[in-house]
Amino acid sequence: MLKSKKGVSPLIATIILIGFSVALGAVVMNWGNASLEFGECTEVSLKPTIVNNQEKVCYSGLGDEGSVSFIIEDQAASDIDSIRVWVIGENNLISVTDVTSIKKGYPISGKVPYDFETLGAIEQVQFIPLLNQGDKPLLCMGKALVIDEPAKC
């Protein structure tokens, strides 16, 4: 009655199920970590301070002695551990500087160096919040404050 039935042996079936379970578990764990990181950044909100209808983000200086000055505010429900400032020049080069922490509800003022000779005219300034998540910093790229073509001080 039972002629030549072909199928997967129980041992092979068990190995395939274990492999599938491990792969599915890895996907779920990565998805959980991504939602945790996104959740941390949802409480971050940077805004430029506005005085006389002008954002207080501007540049000054010439050559290799240029700088970008700013006053920005943390309008969120949590403190920001550090702020990474990207200044993007017309030569598609980026100047990166980390500045101090900022308390929720308070402004911070600062000045970062900028080399006009090497990087060219300033096209954009980005203020990227960094939160400490255990032993590694978490960059909140989606919550970056972006200023296109800042004014001269």
- For the stretch 12-24, pLDDT in tens is 888 988 988 988 8
In single-letter form, the type of residue at position 76 comes to A
pLDDT value, residue 34: 55
pTM: 0.70
Residue segments in the chain with a per-residue pLDDT below the cut of 70: 1-5, 32-40
pLDDT per residue as tens digits for the range 138-151: 888 888 899 998 99
Residue 60 near residue 66 (C-beta atoms within 8 A): yes
Joined together, the tokens standing for residue 91 give 């030569």
Q: Domain coordinates of the chain in residue numbers?
A: 42-152
- CATH top class, domain 42-152: mainly beta
1 vs 100: CA distance, rounded Å: 80
The alpha-helical segments, DSSP class H, found in 1-153 are 10-41, 116-119
Q: What is the Cα 70 distance to its own chain's centre?
A: 19
Q: Which residues have CB under 8 Å from 103's CB, separation 6+?
A: 74, 79
